[in-house]
Structure 1
């Protein structure tokens, strides 16, 4: 359903270091970089699905209250690694890895990046 998503940043270099580290356990890597933006994709994907950008209107980047971007994790170990990588890279814990009440196999972790954007890694496979 979604073509791509973006998160805003006020420091693209710092955000790039954060996302290079945090997205790796989920199988995503930096694929494109241009002035004001960095694009991430899974190996073999023909298009970047996740972008970190400086706001087009040149106003400061802010996060959306109530907005969470959930990324698919291949397994629960990847969720754990995502959470650990985010905290080690200076992110903020918003929910440690674990099962959530949404359904019996919904295993997730939640973090915020340096700009306050909320991310989740989710594995819905029973393990």
Structure 2
């Protein structure tokens, strides 16, 4: 099996664009590509799934998942800290400061909520096996 597409909802596409363009830029991705109908942003993750953020297709307000978290990998502890700072500066809220995380065997990580409340984290040195 391969995960090919992941999409989160937003209620403010421009706030989402500022947040994701900056946090993903820290991790080496270019700004979102294209504008689509219904409106959403698309990011291409090399070797991974496409990541999209957009308004709900049914016209209802977007909501976040209770208990859901999406993890991104960083190349260094400094990149994790920069990702977290960029998120805070662009409308995100802190859910866990950049530091070694005991539950992840000491890997360096940080947690944010995007402007719509979606929970994200970024880690350097985490093992998934």
Normalised by the size of structure 2, how large is the TM-score? 0.85
Q: Is the 8 Å Cα contact of residues 105 and 123 (structure 1) preserved in structure 2?
A: no
How many Å apart are 1:115 and its aligned residue? 0.5
1:10 matched residue in structure 2: 11
The answer to whether 1:107 aligns with 2:102 is no
Q: CA RMSD in A?
A: 2.1
The answer to whether 1:37 aligns with 2:40 is yes
Task: Give the alignment of 1:1-127 within 5 angstroms.
Answer: 1-35=2-36, 36-42=39-45, 45=46, 49-124=50-125
How many Å apart are 1:29 and its aligned residue? 2.2
**2: CA distance, partners of 1:29 / 1:68:** 23
Higher relative strand content: 1
Tell me, which stretches of 5 or more residues in structure 2 are unaligned?
A: none
How many Å apart are 1:102 and its aligned residue? 2.9
How many Å apart are 1:54 and its aligned residue? 1.0
